Structure 1
Amino acid sequence: MAMEGRGGGTLSDLYQGSKRLLLKSRDGLERLERLEFSSSTAAVDSPDLSAAVRTDLAQIRSLCADMDRLWRSVPAKSQRDLWKRKVEQVAEEADSLKESLDKYFQRRQRRVQEAQERAELLGRANGESSHVLRIFDEEAQAMVSARNSSRMLEEATATGAAILSRYSEQRDRLKSAHRKALDVLNTVGLSNSVLRFIERRNRTDQLIKCAGMVLTVIIVFVFWRWIR
């Protein structure tokens, strides 16, 4: 494909890049789900991995916005329909992965909250509970920070996609207005030609009428002279 996205890649390049990111995101999500049943030491590192998965999914959404703009410019309808289905499949798979990631976050947040409640109920004075709480507090803060960063990235991506969509709509409206203006100009040109033809025809009819009247008067006069 000759069309290029904002990053300079073609439609085919963007599609291949989005497929690679989907594979990476799916693998990262599977690792996160395995970490849920791992030791607490390994689980502490999960916020970085979850943030990376969120970042990849946000990048896929950005690529989908670029591809959605590019496939509409494909000249052949059959190819245009094919690319439309491909882009929709990528977007649907990314949405499914994001939904699974959100459910993972909900489970993690629930476990952290349950652990904090258990530690508070035990009320150990030997500092062990505070150590556990500190670990979970740090993990919760890291998760909140990762989610906030990912949310900001998603909002920026959505804003960029909306701006591109508005630019595309404005371009289409300008093209439509241009075509309408050309149609009006063509119609005005045709109307002027018709009016000039009608005016010439009216002048011709007037001449024919006058000539007929003069000829009639001459014939009557000649006939009147003849019968006298």
Structure 2
Amino acid sequence: MEGGGGTLSEIHQSAKKLLLRSRDGLERLERLEYSATAGTGSETELSFAVKKDITQIQSLCVEMERLWRSVTAKPQRDLWKRKVEQIAEEAESLRASLDKYNLRHQKRMREANERAELLGRANGDSAHVLRIFDEEAQALHSVRASARELENANAIGEAILSSIHGQRERLKSAHRKALDILNTVGISNSVLRLIERRNRVDQWIKYAGMLLTVIFLFAFVYWRH
């Protein structure tokens, strides 16, 4: 099958060559990105060339898609469909990689410009920059001093609370001991009173027994006479 730019096979071969060249150009860009010559004009020229090749590949894919659809034999048509889809996917992958590279390149250029601007300001007004640094250092020193004071106050507060807690526990222990002593004293007084009552009862029983014994003896003697 032929199109405006050649047969399907010829266009496919041209697309594959452009893919190889684009892939090689992208690899060169990535090597330049981390080399000492990064940021030179050669990167921009190479990036433009790779983008141009990828655009041409995608145009060839459109042409090949038109051609494979006109293939009459289904097996050949399916085969060309897969080949064209593979070329299109590789081209899209290369375009995505190039876009990522361009974003990184733009970021590097922006950061370089910002650094140059900051250096220019520093060289033009170094006293102002030094004054800012000095103020920041003083503020940082004040913050650290305040933090130390807070830590000391917190430690003192914890020590006071610990002391109060210890005194409270000692007071509780003394209170319990006092209650135990009072309870013991109360029980002892009750026992003593019970003993005294028992002694008095025993004495009455003793005296009553003695009296009954005397009466019994007098009665016995009287009845014998």
Normalised by the size of structure 2, how large is the TM-score? Answer: 0.52
1:160-185 C-alpha deviation (Å, 9 max, x unpaired) = xxxxxxxxxxxxxxxxxxxxxxxxxx
Q: CA deviation at 1:122?
A: 1.3
1:64 is matched with which residue: 61, 64, 73? Answer: 61
* Superposed counterparts of 1:39-54, under 5 Å: 39-40=36-37, 43-54=40-51
Matches for 1:59-208 after TM superposition, within 5 Å: 59-123=56-120
How many residue pairs get aligned? The number is: 124
Identity %: 67
Q: Distance in 1 between matches of 2:39 and 2:108?
A: 15
Distance across 1 between alignment mates of 2:53 and 2:41 = 21
| 8 Å Cα contact 2:39/2:109 also seen in 1 | no
Give the aligned residue type for 2:2: E
Within 1, Cα distance between the matches of 2:28 and 2:100?
A: 14
Q: Which residue of 2 aligns with 1:30?
A: 27
Gap change, CA 1:28 and 1:109, over 3 Å in 2: same
What's the CA shift for 1:40?
Answer: 3.4
Using the TM superposition, give the Cα deviation of residue 70 of structure 1 relative to its aligned residue in structure 2, in angstroms: 0.1
- Kindly name which structure, 1 or 2, has the bigger radius of gyration based on alpha carbons: 2
1:6 aligned partner, one-letter code: G
Does structure 2 retain, via aligned residues, the 8 Å contact 1:22–1:57? yes
Cα 1:110–1:12 shift into 2, 3 Å? same
The alignment partner of 2:103 has SS state of helix
What is the root-mean-square deviation of aligned Cα atoms in Å?
Answer: 1.8
Q: Distance in 1 between matches of 2:9 and 2:39?
A: 38
| AA in 2 matched with 1:44 | G
CA distance in 2, matches of 1:114, 1:126: 18
5+ long unaligned stretches in structure 2:
125-225
- Equivalent residues of 2:32, 2:38 under 8 A apart: no
2:163 is aligned to: none
Deviation at 1:11, TM superposition (A): 0.2
Greater RCO, CA 8 A, separation 6+ = 1
**One-letter amino acid matched to 1:122:** L
TM-score (norm 1): 0.52
Work out the CA distance in 1 between the residues paired with 2:87 and 2:40.
Answer: 30
Question: 1:80-135: per-residue Cα shift (whole Å, max 9, x none)?
Answer: 000000000000000000000000000000000001111111116889xxxxxxxx
- State the 1:61 CA deviation: 0.5
Counterpart position of 1:4: 2
Give the letter for the 1:68 counterpart.
E
Given that residues 35 and 43 in structure 1 are in contact (C-alpha distance below 8 angstroms), is that contact kept between their aligned partners in structure 2?
A: no
